[in-house]
Structure 1
Amino acid sequence: MELTSKPVLGFIGIGVMGESMVRNLIKAGYRTLIYTRTKKKAEALITEGAEWQETIKDLASKSDVVMTMVGYPKDVEEVYIGENGILENARSQAILIDFTTSSPSLAEEIYEHALSKQLYALDAPVSGGDVGAKEGRLSIMIGGEQEVFEKVQPILEVMGQNIVLQGPAGAGQHTKMCNQIAIASNMIGVCEAIVYAEKAGLNPTTVLKSIESGAAGSWSLSNLAPRMISNRLEPGFYVKHFIKDMTIALESARQMDMLIPGLELSKQLYEDLAERGEEDSGTQALVTLFRD
Structure 2
Amino acid sequence: MEVRLRPFNNKCGGIPLEKTIGFIGTGVMGKSMVQHLLNNSHSVYIYNRSKDKALDLIENGAVWCESPKDVAQQADIIFTIVGYPYDVEEVYFGSDGLLPHGKFNSVFIDMTTSTPTLAKKIYEEGKKKGIQALDAPVSGGDIGAKNGTLTIMVGGDEQTFTDILPIISCFGQNIVYQGTAGSGQHTKMCNQIAIATNMIGVCEALVYAKKAGLDPETVLKSISAGAAGSWSLSNYVPRILSGDYSPGFFIKHFIKDMKIALEEAEKMNLPLPGLALAKQMYEELAEQGEENNGTQALIKYWDQFE
* Residues 1:265 and 2:268 aligned together: no
The answer for the alignment partner of 1:5 in structure 2 is: 16
- 1:193-241 C-alpha deviation (Å, 9 max, x unpaired): 1111111111101100000010000110000111111111110000000
The CA deviation at 1:2 is 2.7
* Residues 1:150 and 2:153 aligned together: no
The partner residue of 1:40 within 28, 38, 52 is: 52
Cα distance in 2 between the residues matched to 1:90 and 1:66: 10
The partner residue of 1:247 within 259, 271, 274 is: 259
The partner residue of 2:149 within 137, 151, 156 is: 137
* Residues 1:61 and 2:64 aligned together: no
The answer for the alignment partner of 1:112 in structure 2 is: 124
Cα distance in 2 between the residues matched to 1:268 and 1:287: 14
Cα distance in 2 between the residues matched to 1:197 and 1:25: 43
* Residues 1:28 and 2:31 aligned together: no
The partner residue of 2:221 within 209, 229, 245 is: 209
Give unpaired runs (5+ residues) of structure 2: 7-14
The answer for the alignment partner of 1:192 in structure 2 is: 204
The CA deviation at 1:146 is 1.0
CA RMSD of aligned residues (A): 0.9
* Residues 1:223 and 2:254 aligned together: no
Cα distance in 1 between the residues matched to 2:150 and 2:58: 23
Q: Aligned residues, how many?
A: 292
Question: Given the two structures, how large is their TM-score scaled by the length of structure 2?
Answer: 0.94
Cα distance in 2 between the residues matched to 1:236 and 1:55: 26
The CA deviation at 1:83 is 2.8
The partner residue of 1:159 within 163, 171, 177 is: 171
CA contact (8 A) 2:24 2:47 kept: yes
The CA deviation at 1:248 is 0.1
The CA deviation at 1:291 is 3.3
* Residues 1:49 and 2:49 aligned together: no
The CA deviation at 1:82 is 3.0
Cα distance in 1 between the residues matched to 2:127 and 2:268: 28
The answer for the alignment partner of 2:12 in structure 1 is: none
CA contact (8 A) 1:195 1:291 kept: no
- What's the secondary structure of 1:2's corresponding residue? coil
* Residues 1:276 and 2:279 aligned together: no
The answer for the alignment partner of 2:11 in structure 1 is: none
The answer for the alignment partner of 2:134 in structure 1 is: 122
- 1:140-164 C-alpha deviation (Å, 9 max, x unpaired): 0000011100111011111000000
- What's the secondary structure of 2:176's corresponding residue? strand
Cα distance in 1 between the residues matched to 2:97 and 2:300: 41
The answer for the alignment partner of 1:89 in structure 2 is: 101
Question: Given the two structures, how large is their TM-score scaled by the length of structure 1?
Answer: 0.98
The CA deviation at 1:259 is 1.5
